[in-house]
């Protein structure tokens, strides 16, 4: 009996190699198998370039041309393709985007069987790729490792099913459970945790803070201590109280300022007026969704973090707990509602905990 899960796990390993390079597209891996032997591998490497299935077939053909697979007794690559199975972690696309439809390529190459990890929620695909393959007479097996295939692209799935960005709440808290001191910039986490936070920033499309955090901390909100693209900066400033000399407004990174006063585009700055400031978060997330922002890292302050938690508008919480810093009389950290812990690890005298929402 063929172990479909074995090959799908390899697809997921390959898919992960596209992290930070393919967004807003999903991470996808593909393997080509003939008689329990992988004869081609590929993944989506760079946004706008070839998808996993195309790279997988190219890998197979390059290796066949060197004589690597001649031992199977096939005189040409096409004949071997027709007797093979392609595994792909996400349903092959069925529409023209940056590249032609992968489903059409699979049909044209007459690949014998397709095993799909999970159906693509994007409205231009959403079952159409599988339907097209089956209509062409190709056997399709799906789903396989559906939970794992969804998890690796949780930002993509949240964006296309809930029509909002994937929301990650992050804060550091002292050993006595405080998030900071009133009106003061209060460093809590150590240098290793700071480096981790900059890596986290590099992995998300946007980063969000409230007025008080911007005013007191004057954060740059960049990942200058980690390679990769800086996230879009987002700040909530209802009355436009923030002074123009803050790092947020230095023009080095595109920045959105949600407010109640101004709708205007300036160099590197976009002022976007909201209609309902009594409950701004749904409108903020909707605006980011319509700007194709798939994920947002929320870094405070405490009132903003609690608002996301109270409304249930979150997917992950990441907490850095200091073992050595105490802040008596400080501001209490938010209370995390029912959630499951996904990861927990030490960084010297800091302890990092990552939770996910049960709704995910």
Query: What residues are annotated to the active site?
Result: 53
What are the residue ranges of helices labelled H in 181-291?
191-202, 211-217, 280-290
Helix, strand or coil for residue 254? coil
Instruction: Report the distance separating Cα 154 and Cα 314, nearest Å.
Output: 12
Residue 20 · residue 203 · CB < 8 Å: yes
Cis peptide bond N-terminal to 143, omega within 30: yes
Instruction: Report the distance separating Cα 20 and Cα 202, nearest Å.
Output: 8
Residue 96 · residue 88 · CB < 8 Å: no
Strands in 29-34's sheet, in edge-to-edge order, are 37-43, 29-34, 85-88, 113-116, 139-141
- Helix (H) or strand (E) holding 257, with range, is strand 255-259
Residue 141 · residue 133 · CB < 8 Å: no
Beta bridge partners of 318: 170, 354
Residue 22 · residue 47 · CB < 8 Å: yes
Q: Compute, in degrees rounded to 10, the torsion defined by CA atoms 210, 212, 218, 219.
A: -30
Cα distances (angstroms) measured from residue 193 to each of 60, 300, 320, 333: 42, 16, 7, 18
Beta bridge partners of 3: none
Residue 297 · residue 290 · CB < 8 Å: no
Handedness of CA 197, 199, 203, 209 (dihedral sign): positive
């Amino acid at each position: 009996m063929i172990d479909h899960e074995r090959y799908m796990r390899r697809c997921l390993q390959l898919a992960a190699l596209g992290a930070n390079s393919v967004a807003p597209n999903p991470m996808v891996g593909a393997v080509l198998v003939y008689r329990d032997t992988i004869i081609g591998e590929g993944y989506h490497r760079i946004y706008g370039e070839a998808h996993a299935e195309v790279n997988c077939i190219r890998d197979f053909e390059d290796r066949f041309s060197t004589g690597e697979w001649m031992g199977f007794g096939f005189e040409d690559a096409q004949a071997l393709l027709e007797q093979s199975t392609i595994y792909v972690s996400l349903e092959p696309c069925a529409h023209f985007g940056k590249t032609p439809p992968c489903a059409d390529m699979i049909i044209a190459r007459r690949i014998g069987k397709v095993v799909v990890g999970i159906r693509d929620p994007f409205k231009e695909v959403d079952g159409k790729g599988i339907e097209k393959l089956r209509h062409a007479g190709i056997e399709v097996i799906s789903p396989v490792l559906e939970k794992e295939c969804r998890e690796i692209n949780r930002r993509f799935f949240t964006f296309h099913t809930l029509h909002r960005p994937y929301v990650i709440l992050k804060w550091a808290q002292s050993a006595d459970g405080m998030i900071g001191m009133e009106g003061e910039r209060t460093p809590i986490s150590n240098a290793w945790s700071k480096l981790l936070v900059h890596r986290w920033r590099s992995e998300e499309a946007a980063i969000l803070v409230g007025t008080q955090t911007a005013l007191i901390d004057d954060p740059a909100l960049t990942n200058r201590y980690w390679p990769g693209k800086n996230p879009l900066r987002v700040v909530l400033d209802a009355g436009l109280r923030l002074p123009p000399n803050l790092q947020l407004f230095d023009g080095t990174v595109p920045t959105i300022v949600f407010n109640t006063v101004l709708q205007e585009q300036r160099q590197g700055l976009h002022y976007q007026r909201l209609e309902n400031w009594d409950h701004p978060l749904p409108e903020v997330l909707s605006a980011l969704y319509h700007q194709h922002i798939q994920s947002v890292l929320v870094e405070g302050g405490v009132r903003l973090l609690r608002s996301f938690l109270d409304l249930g508008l979150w997917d992950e919480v990441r907490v850095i707990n200091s073992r050595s810093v105490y802040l008596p009389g400080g501001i209490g950290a938010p209370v995390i509602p029912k959630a499951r812990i996904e990861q927990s690890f030490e960084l010297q005298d800091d302890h990092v905990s990552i939770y996910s929402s049960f709704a995910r």
